[in-house]
Amino acid sequence: MNTQIIAIANQKGGVGKTTTCVNLGIGLAKAGKKVLLIDCDPQGSLTISLGTSQPDKLPVTLSDMMGKVLTDQQIPTAEGILHHPEGVDLMPADIQLSGMEVSLVNAMSRETVLKQYLDTVKGQYSHILIDCQPSLGMLTVNALAAANRILIPVQAEYLPAKGLEQLLQTVSKVRRQINPKLQIDGILLTMVDSRTNFAREISELLRDTYGGKIKVFGTEIPHSVRAKETSAEGKSIYAHDPGGKVAEAYQNLTKEVLKIEKQREKHKTGISR
């Protein structure tokens, strides 16, 4: 199985990374995929969103797994992986992960520690989604080094240009120096308020600026209080507000994500012929 590894990244906080990780991940599971979500943020928001209210009480989290990689220890199958009732698996995180980030600075192969961990589990999964922390630090670089795809949520309310430029530079650098396989899936507009024109203006600006080099997803995620409530509920938008507009949007995003991989697959076989 050729596992698709998707980093969900933007160094800006509050743009919908974690919400997208939950609902794209569970959307993929509903489409029959085997999905592992990785919480790569010491805040543990993904872990909390999936129902563990106190991540620091968990016996095993991502920092332990990365620690084992650093010290060359064996990782038993599925160690520390949690199962969510909606059909996804989760490698949780807690605040210890920020200590791990500090120790990475002096580690050998420091950019590929997460990749080395994922290499031990990816055989079990068709899709792995990595929820990145809001910075371009060593943990995000590890996520980009481990991924073959990146999805960039952008909140439709603010002009994202400057921060986006930095993120794209980091992506280019990682691609050149560590991971040539990394491809940008696209920019996802989130929290779109249908009463304003921000979303249209921003997607036009993005299209003008990046000249078709970077796709803006056709799906936009609407703003909705129902979406805001889900993180406290420990479930997805499909369970919390089925039939709502945000559930529908994340379903459409799931289809777009699957379409991208199908197209790339076709392209590949086309070239080899």
Judged by the rule CB under 6 A, the positions of this chain that interact with ligand ADP are 13-19, 45, 134, 190-191, 221, 223-224, 227-228, 231, 246
CB of 44 to Mg ion, least distance (A): 9
Token pair of 10, please?
């933007």
17, 115, 122, 223: which one binds Mg ion (CB under 5 A):
17
Nearer to Mg ion by Cβ, of 126 and 190: the residue is 190
Q: Which is nearer to ligand ADP, 43 or 96 (CB)?
A: 43
**Residue number, 114 or 178, with CB nearest to Mg ion:** 114
221 binds, among Mg ion, ligand ADP, none (CB under 5 to 8 A by kind): ligand ADP
Q: Which does 203 bind (CB under 5 to 8 A by kind): Mg ion, ligand ADP, none?
A: none
Report how far residue 141's alpha carbon sits from residue 143's, in angstroms, rounded to the nearest whole number. 5
Q: Which is nearer to Mg ion, 16 or 186 (CB)?
A: 16
Considering only residues 70 through 99, tell me which ones interact with Mg ion, judged by CB under 5 A. Answer: none
Q: Which residue has the tokens 């994922």?
A: 118
The minimum distance between CB 188 and ligand ADP, in angstroms, equals 11
Work out whether 49 is an interface residue with Mg ion (CB under 5 A): no
The span of 14-22, 59-67, 179-187, 214-222 binding Mg ion (CB under 5 A) equals 14-22
3-class SS letters over the chain = CCCEEEEECCCCCCCCHHHHHHHHHHHHHHCCCCEEEEEECCCCHHHHHCCCCCHHHCCCCHHHHHHHHHCCCCCCCCCCCEECCCCCEEECCCCHHHHHHHHHCCCCCHHHHHHHHHHHHHHHCCEEEEEECCCCCHHHHHHHHHCCEEEEEEECCCCCHHHHHHHHHHHHHHHHHCCCCCEEEEEEEECECCCCCHHHHHHHHHHHHHCCCCCECCCCCECCHHHHHHHHHCCCHHHHCCCCHHHHHHHHHHHHHHHHHHHHHHHHHHHHC
45 binds Mg ion (CB under 5 A): yes
Stretch that binds Mg ion, among 37-45, 158-166, 188-196, 257-265 (CB under 5 A): 37-45
126 binds Mg ion (CB under 5 A): no
Considering beta carbons, is residue 49 or 61 the nearer one to ligand ADP? 49
Cα 139 to its chain centre, rounded Å, is 13
Nearer to ligand ADP, 20 or 142 (CB): 20
Per partner kind, with CB cut-offs from 5 to 8 A, the member of Mg ion, ligand ADP, none near residue 163 is none
